[in-house]
């Protein structure tokens, strides 16, 4: 089945089975490897991307269901000139990633939060990231990174 996906501002014609998860299309067809395969059942957050600015688990969302929607991956957060997004810079500055497997999902969940709530409290950040698992225990640095990015983005 052929369908069109809008990913990171570009339209892509995808010819895959209608039940293929978005994660497989992103990684295998479009070669966008920011979203990671973690649990495969939408519970760990490693595969998080944005759908129209809101976080979704790409391992459980059928790609075909996103026709007419805008999908943003970690790669799509960069500015057109290649500059890193404030969240990406903050995660680097705070050394928020240890093994970094969870970081793309954390960053995109945080991007969804900052879009909804530009000046979140620490509790807001922890709640927004609660469903994203980090087995390395970097949560405090991740929270600081989101706070840093929020401060930068709000001027």
Q: For the chain, which residues make up each domain, given as ranges? A: 3-73, 86-154
Query: pLDDT tens, 11-68?
Result: 999 999 989 999 999 999 999 999 999 999 999 999 999 999 999 999 999 999 999 9
- What CATH fold (topology level) applies to the domain 3-73? Ubiquitin-like (UB roll) (3.10.20)
pLDDT confidence of residue 134:
87
Q: Which CATH class is domain 86-154?
A: mainly alpha
HSE (CB half, 13 Å, CA atoms) of 59?
A: 17
Question: 87-139 pLDDT, tens per residue?
Answer: 999 999 999 988 888 999 999 999 999 999 999 999 999 999 999 988 888 89
């Amino acid at each position: 089945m052929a369908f069109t996906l809008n990913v990171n501002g570009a339209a892509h014609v995808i010819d895959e089975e209608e039940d293929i998860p978005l994660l497989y299309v992103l990684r295998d067809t479009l070669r966008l490897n920011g979203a990671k395969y973690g649990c495969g059942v939408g519970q760990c957050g490693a595969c998080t991307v944005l759908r129209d600015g809101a976080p979704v688990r790409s391992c459980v969302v059928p790609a075909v269901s996103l026709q007419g929607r805008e999908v943003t991956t970690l790669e799509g957060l960069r500015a057109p000139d290649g500059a890193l997004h404030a969240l990406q810079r903050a995660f680097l500055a705070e050394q928020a990633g240890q093994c970094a497997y969870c970081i793309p999902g954390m960053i995109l969940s945080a991007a969804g939060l900052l879009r909804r709530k530009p000046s979140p409290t620490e509790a807001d950040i922890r709640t927004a990231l609660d469903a994203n698992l980090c087995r390395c225990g970097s949560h405090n640095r991740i929270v600081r990174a989101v706070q840093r990015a929020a401060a930068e983005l709000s001027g």
